[in-house]
Amino acid sequence: MSTITQLKAPADYWETEPHHHPEGASTNIGFWVYLMSDCLMFAVLFATYGVLHGNLAAGPGPKDLFDLELVAINTAMLLFSSITYGFAMLRMARGDQAGTLKWLAITLFFGLCFLAIELYEFAHLIHEGAGPQRSAFLSAFFTLVGTHGLHVTFGSIWLVTLMVQVKKFGLTSANQRRLMCLSLFWHFLDLIWIGVFTVVYLLGVI
């Protein structure tokens, strides 16, 4: 009997209380990890473009191809979408579901305008014989700008999905958390595009 008693652990030896974490904490941390991985990917793409942008293979260069006015309009579309998304977040903080959806719809409009102009630019370059296979410069250009465009496309699909969720279930805590994650993603794309506009377009035509 004494042996059994000695083998028993104290009542507080084993931790039986579960760990309590703030709701959504793992989601936020995971999303920040994803954004950091995206930063690394774009850093590699920028570095690749920096190495290859002078390899024209006797073909056209940035000064021959880029329409800076069109790119400036495209940049304005994405910057406006970031501002309107900020207005959507302000409405969300006030619990205004209709106002949030309205500003999200305006954000989607500007995002789609950005994509339409980018697709027009790509189609025009390919029509002029300046496709990604023409030179290392154009391969790096299409890869960098196209990857950013794909991110905007996925962000737009995500935005439509969240608009449906908000319309159906309202501004629940889960939907607010998702909208905040998308806000980080959307503003992140803005920052990346400013880098693209500066490094690829502005410096390219100087």
Q: Report DSSP letters for the chain, one per residue.
A: -HHHHHHSPPTTTS--SPP---TTHHHHHHHHHHHHHHHHHHHHHHHHHHHHTT--TTS--HHHH--HHHHHHHHHHHHHHHHHHHHHHHHHHTT-HHHHHHHHHHHHHHHHHHHHHHHHHHHHHHHTT--TTS-HHHHHHHHHHHHHHHHHHHHHHHHHHHHHHHHHH-S-HHHHHHHHHHHHHHHHHHHHHHHHIIIIIIHHH-
Name residues whose C-beta falls within 8 Å of residue 137's C-beta, 6 or more positions apart in sequence: 52, 53, 54, 55, 56, 57, 59, 61, 62
pLDDT of residue 14: 46
Residue 22, pLDDT score: 52
For the chain, give the mean pLDDT.
Answer: 91
Output the pLDDT for position 18: 53
Query: What number is the average pLDDT over the span 169-188?
Result: 96
122 within 8 A of 74, measured Cβ to Cβ? no
Please write the tens of the pLDDT for every residue from 119-141. 999 999 999 999 999 999 999 99
> Where in the chain are the domains?
65-206
Place of tokens 């042996």: 3
How high is the pLDDT of residue 25?
A: 57
For 90-100, the pLDDT digits (tens) are: 999 999 999 99
CATH fold group of domain 65-206: Four Helix Bundle (Hemerythrin (Met), subunit A) (1.20.120)
Q: Write the pLDDT tens digit of every residue in 26-81.
A: 678 889 999 999 999 999 999 999 999 999 999 999 999 999 999 999 999 999 99
pLDDT at 181 over 60: yes
